[in-house]
Amino acid sequence: MRRKLLLVAIVAGFAAACSPGSDPERPPGVPASARWTGNIEGGTWIDCEPVPSTMDRFVCRAWFRTGAMISEGQYVHRQRRWNQQALRSEYTEPVGTVLPDFATFDGRWIMLADEHVLLPEGVISYPDGAGHGKRQAYSLGIETGGAEAY
């Protein structure tokens, strides 16, 4: 009986430590304003600041769990709507100026809550990871032209 209680306590402690609601320790160099988007399997730290005098543009940076920067550049806030007739997603300017919570980052797009998304716009830098030193130009989330190294 004692052994079962000990096992239950260990499993409960492990589950609490690994719960999806708990953020990992913030690595050095990741600002306090960055928010964790992920779960026990992985995720990213993301920080976005509005571009002055615009309503839908943000300068965003994303970091790996380790603190190495994944990407940095400007993103445009859009709301995704499904066009049933064309069988595709379409992106429109969102109503309001409040940025919904971060959901995930796929290495290019920053997914937000409530069918909102931040699409890369302009040149995005990828200083670490597989695209080390890469700079890619985008127009509303679509690559325009080739990538260049810096």
Tens-digit pLDDT profile for residues 64-76:
999 999 999 999 9
Q: What is the pLDDT of residues 29-56, one digit of tens each?
A: 999 999 999 877 789 999 999 999 888 9
- Reported as a pLDDT band with limits 50, 70 and 90, residue 5 is very low
AA letter at 6: L
Determine the straight-line distance between the first and last CA of the chain, rounded to whole angstroms: 63
pTM of the full structure: 0.77
Secondary structure string (H, E, C) spanning 108-145:
CCEEECCCEEEEECEEEEECCCCCCCEEEEEECCEECC
φ, ψ for residue 108 (rounded to 5)? -135, -55
Q: How many CB atoms lie within 10 A of CB 31?
A: 11
pLDDT tens-place string over residues 76-135: 999 988 889 989 888 888 777 778 999 999 989 999 999 999 999 999 999 876 656 789
10, amino acid identity = I
